[in-house]
Amino acid sequence: MKIFIAVLLALALAAGLAAAIQQDSGYILIAYNQTTVEMTIWVGVGVLSVFLILVMLIFMSLRRGAKVSDSIGSFWSVRRAERGRSHTTLGMIAFIEGNWAKSRKLLTDSAKDTETPLINYLLAARASHALGDTPGSRHYLGLAEQTTNKASIAVALTQAEMQVESGSLEEALATLTRARRNAERHPSVLTLLKKVYIGLRDWNSLLALMPDLRKHGGLSDERLAELERQALMGQLEHTAQQGDIGALQQWWKHVPRTWHRDNGLLLAYCRVLVAAGDADSAEKLLRQSLKLNWHSDLLKLYGLIAGSDLARQLSAAESWIKDHGDDAVLFLTLGRLALRNELWGKAREYFEQGYQLSPNAELCFELGRLMANLDEPAAAERYAQEALQLQGQSLPSLPQPSLSKLKD
């Protein structure tokens, strides 16, 4: 219906124009310099109409051409993006396979055509590092940092990891220290710092890092305890090298009280005290610790220490029989303390009591040595053989010369 009405209107307009042309065609005069052009109004309208139609056609053609151009540009952009993704994937595969040169070429060639140029350049830096190309590694780290304003931590971590791998721990520490200003609690920064401090044997710094590692390092309680023990042991070793008993005692005072009950650390500290010439402090500390924490390793060490008052030391150990009379290690310790007091009979008695509770190589060796010095060679040999058997080192049964035959 609308088309029909439009056609009627067009026909009416055409009829009107035709009638107007017949009544009065008018004219248009155009003069420019010495040139004049004269035409009827309706011819001018026709010329103008043709001109406008030509302009519209040209405009439509240009628009169509622009769309074609955009389509062509879009096609090549898609192609470059696909190529970038493909080469990046191949570069990563080559990286994982350890083909460093191929990986670097693929990753760098496709870096500008991928959505992840940061990753491309970081992996290229690592590939350069693996190739021993330090300048190349620095170059690609610089390009990586330029890809985004959020790249600084990733670049610093990559650089620090490569520095650690090459043994440049001081340089790695400087890199991580700068990174920590912007990411103080970043788990990866903390983990790498831990590794660097251990490598540098900087136990004080490692202990200072423990609170942050505990909160943000993502480590298990067991691993955290292991790290703290390692740092404390390192501090103890460093302090022991000074040969200053006062410094050792001061160090122990500053060790957290919870670690005073750690058997490994306590044993190490007592051994260092004895080596430094302070057996009395070690004896006292072990005696007090055994009242709270009965442990065979502490007990054994107590029997190996020669304090200034050996009689009191033996008496203290004898007082433990009431509560721990079924502990063979206690009787091993008592026997050794009796030997230090030159109480040979009591030493034998204690060793034999321990042997009856639980025969072990140490008790057998002690009994064998004591029997030999008490001029009981048969018993000494028997205990020595049993000690070897308990250690899994028994001798084969072979003929041996006898004294009577040698005399003949």
Helix H segments across 31-151? 41-96, 100-109, 117-130, 134-146
Helix H segments across 241-327? 245-254, 263-275, 279-292, 296-304, 310-318, 321-324
CA angle 338, 340, 342 (to 5 degrees): 70
Q: What is the pLDDT of residue 180?
A: 87
**Tokens representing 234?**
């390192």
Q: What is the pLDDT of residue 75?
A: 47
**What is the chain's pLDDT, residue by residue, as a tens digit (408 residues)?**
655 564 455 445 555 555 555 555 555 556 656 666 565 655 555 555 555 666 665 666 656 554 544 444 454 456 665 776 777 788 788 878 888 888 888 888 877 877 788 888 888 888 988 898 889 889 988 888 888 888 888 889 999 999 999 999 999 999 999 988 888 788 999 999 999 999 999 999 999 999 999 998 888 999 999 999 999 999 999 999 988 999 999 999 999 999 999 999 999 999 999 999 999 999 999 999 999 999 999 999 999 999 999 999 999 999 999 999 999 999 999 999 999 999 999 999 999 999 999 999 999 999 999 999 999 999 989 999 999 888 876 666 677 676 555 555
Q: What is the pLDDT of residue 10?
A: 47
Sign of CA dihedral 209, 210, 216, 219: positive
| Alpha-carbon distance values, 140 to 122, 134, 262 (Å) | 7, 10, 48
Q: How many residues does the chain have?
A: 408
Q: What is the pLDDT of residue 106?
A: 83
Q: Among all chains, which residue has been given the structure tokens 């044997």?
A: 201
8 A C-beta contact, residue 243 and residue 278 = no
- Residue 327 to residue 204: CA distance in whole angstroms: 40
Q: What is the pLDDT of residue 1?
A: 61
Dihedral in degrees, nearest 10, Cα atoms 266, 272, 278, 281? 0
To 10 degrees, what angle do helices 152-165 and 117-130 make?
10
- Nearest in space to 316 (alpha carbons), one of 293, 344, 347, 283: 283
For each of the domains in the chain, give its residue range(s) and CATH number, in order of start: 309-394 (1.25.40.10)
Taking phi over 0 as left and psi of -120 to 50 as alpha, with beta for the rest, 302 belongs to alpha
Q: What is the pLDDT of residue 199?
A: 95
